[in-house]
Structure 1
Amino acid sequence: MDQQLQVFVTVAELKNFSRAAEKLHMTQPAVSQYIRSLEITMGSKLLERSNKFVRLNQAGEMVYYHAKEILGLYTKMHDLMDDLINQASGSISIGASYTFGEYVLPHVIKRVHQHYPLIQPTITIGNTFKIANLVLSHQIDVGIVEGAFHDKHLVIEPFAEDLMYIVAAPNHGLARKSISELEKETWIVREQGSGTREVTEKMFQSIGIAPKEKLEFGSTQIIKESIAAGLGISLLSYWAIREESARGSLSVMDVNLLPIKREFSIVLRSPFQTKALNVFLSLLREFRSKSPQEFE
């Protein structure tokens, strides 16, 4: 069954039988046979096929979702058994929200690679909501999320503090503005489900403003570029703006309100961890509030 599911997932993701066969080092007829066998087992057609496309139907979407979870658990089981007799090695799937994933995680991965070269990490970046759901469905081994996140089905461990600042273009005159004047500004915010968006909305409530002009972008990098271009202002993590602030391409507002503090948290589902995952978690906890230079 695990081979059928692996073939099915590969076809579903590549949307092509011949490319799936190439990736799996199989013949195309063999791939087709695995799909037919799975459809017989499931009692339903799972893929819509034509000369131009291969795509999941409604039944296929359901099987694909659970197949990813089953294959993730199957891989984890093999890794745990392998750990009983071998050193830390193998794959770990890591998910991280944008701020940590894009600006901090690469430094942690570098250290993993330096000291444990047999560990093979794969990285998924998304907002806090997406990463938590991937952990819940066993599609990734560990998540790192931002802000106050709660879920009774997950083990959540705050492990590092993050500081957030209001930033603008250098010629914006932000430093001369009062808190009340911030309501008139154009705010560039992250999408719903983002930890940064959650902190931004809480800040609006705490200082009693309700900005009418908001632009919603799904990437911190795009937000920074937009700020530098003079499109608006935003609340961003120290980690996201430290280089731009140091060279003067972004300006930080200096008021008693700031910085706003939040936490980065480790998110886990399973109580069983491979040696590779334990190694990663140990290095992650060492990070705490160090700078990348101190960490390396």
Structure 2
Amino acid sequence: MKLTLRQIEIFIHVVAIGHLTNVAKEMKLSQSAVSMSIKELENILGRPVFDRINKKLVLNEVGRAFYKEISPLFKKFADIEHEFKNSENKGMIRVGASTTIVDYLMPAIICSYMRSYPDVKITLKEGNTKEIATMVKEGSIDIGFVEGFVSGSEIIKEKIGVDELVVVTANKNLCHASCIDELAQKRWVLREEGSGTREVFLDYIKEKVDNLNIFLELGHTESIKSILMNRECLTCISKISVEKELEEGKLYQIDMKAFACKRDFLMVYHKDKYQSTLFEKFVVFSRKLMTQMIEGGTCLVSSKA
């Protein structure tokens, strides 16, 4: 499109006022700038839109038709500009989160935020920690929430909570106190490479276990829990993701000796991200609510019934 909003704005002012001198004074432009703008608009349209009568510009039949079409569109643009200039609580936030956080924390946070700010739209993308970090680096999301290691000087990382990883099974016979090396040759099902849960667990046990018997890798926590229910195997998983199953006796937490595997929940965003008022409000809101949920144990385990 060759027409500019500035040309249309000047055109509408000329229609309302008629004299270029008065238009120039009101818009704080030179008279030659106003005249040039009208000439450019007419050149783009290929026809004059004004008749020059008694030193006044008067719409001709082409101009009247153009004005009828363009005036409501320009008013809409002006209304949108005014609305966004004067509303800090309107816009879209693109959020990304790793699987554990998507399943057990983010739904409550997003629903609560949108109840407080109904004019804000939120899109949520899921991925493992590595994928979310890549989205932040590429600018395809505004903010991410992860639970693994994140590298890169271009990413701002803020700790917002601590997550405990536990070893669980559906086989009650394995629930006696054990050391991690004693269970290394049992069958383990873990998350896929790039998962924060997997990376933190394997890094934690690397000094104690030379070769863990990983017989299956899956991309989702719920899939791992399903496998556990039907096979004699083990996994290391976020405690918040199995609280319901542990409480109901469907899974059992193994009493691990000298095992305290924890990780940080991180909020991440690009160092060059423009921090609008809307963005800052979402950061504060999410940080506060997620911390309360983690510390208070009010994650969405009940939603998996």
Partner residue in 1 for 2:295:
290
Indicate if the aligned counterparts of 1:172 and 1:230 stay in contact, CA closer than 8 A. no
Moved more, 112-121 or 283-292: 283-292
- CA 1:82–1:224: 2 relative to 1, 3 Å: farther
Indicate if the aligned counterparts of 1:204 and 1:210 stay in contact, CA closer than 8 A. no
**Aligned-pair RMSD on alpha carbons?**
2.5
Aligned length: 218
Percentage identity across paired residues of the two chains: 28
Partner residue in 1 for 2:119:
118
Indicate if the aligned counterparts of 2:171 and 2:232 stay in contact, CA closer than 8 A. no
| Residue type of the alignment partner of 1:182 | L
Partner residue in 1 for 2:128:
127
Q: 1:84-128 CA deviation, whole Å, 9 max, x = no partner?
A: 521312211100011111111111112102211211111000011
| Corresponding residue to 2:279 among 262, 277, 280 | 277
| Residue type of the alignment partner of 1:131 | I
Partner residue in 1 for 2:261:
260
| Residue type of the alignment partner of 2:278 | A
Moved more, 201-210 or 181-190: 201-210
- CA 1:282–1:247: 2 relative to 1, 3 Å: same
Indicate if the aligned counterparts of 2:190 and 2:214 stay in contact, CA closer than 8 A. no
> Any stretches of 5+ residues in structure 2 without a counterpart?
2-79, 301-305
Indicate if the aligned counterparts of 2:165 and 2:237 stay in contact, CA closer than 8 A. yes
State how far apart, in whole Å, the 1-side matches of 2:114 and 2:276 are. Answer: 17
> Any stretches of 5+ residues in structure 1 without a counterpart?
2-78
Tell me the CA shift for residue 147 of structure 1.
2.1
Indicate if the aligned counterparts of 2:177 and 2:257 stay in contact, CA closer than 8 A. no
Partner residue in 1 for 2:166:
165
Tell me the CA shift for residue 176 of structure 1.
4.5
Partner residue in 1 for 2:149:
148
Q: Which runs of 4+ in 1 moved over 6 A?
A: 79-82
Work out which of the two has the higher radius of gyration on C-alpha atoms and give 1 or 2: 2
State how far apart, in whole Å, the 2-side matches of 1:168 and 1:231 are. Answer: 7
| Residue type of the alignment partner of 2:242 | I
TM-score computed with the length of structure 1 as normaliser: 0.67
State how far apart, in whole Å, the 1-side matches of 2:81 and 2:185 are. Answer: 55
- CA 1:259–1:247: 2 relative to 1, 3 Å: farther
Partner residue in 2 for 1:64:
none
Partner residue in 2 for 1:199:
200
TM-score computed with the length of structure 2 as normaliser: 0.65
Indicate if the aligned counterparts of 2:178 and 2:256 stay in contact, CA closer than 8 A. no
Partner residue in 1 for 2:42:
none
State how far apart, in whole Å, the 1-side matches of 2:81 and 2:175 are. Answer: 53
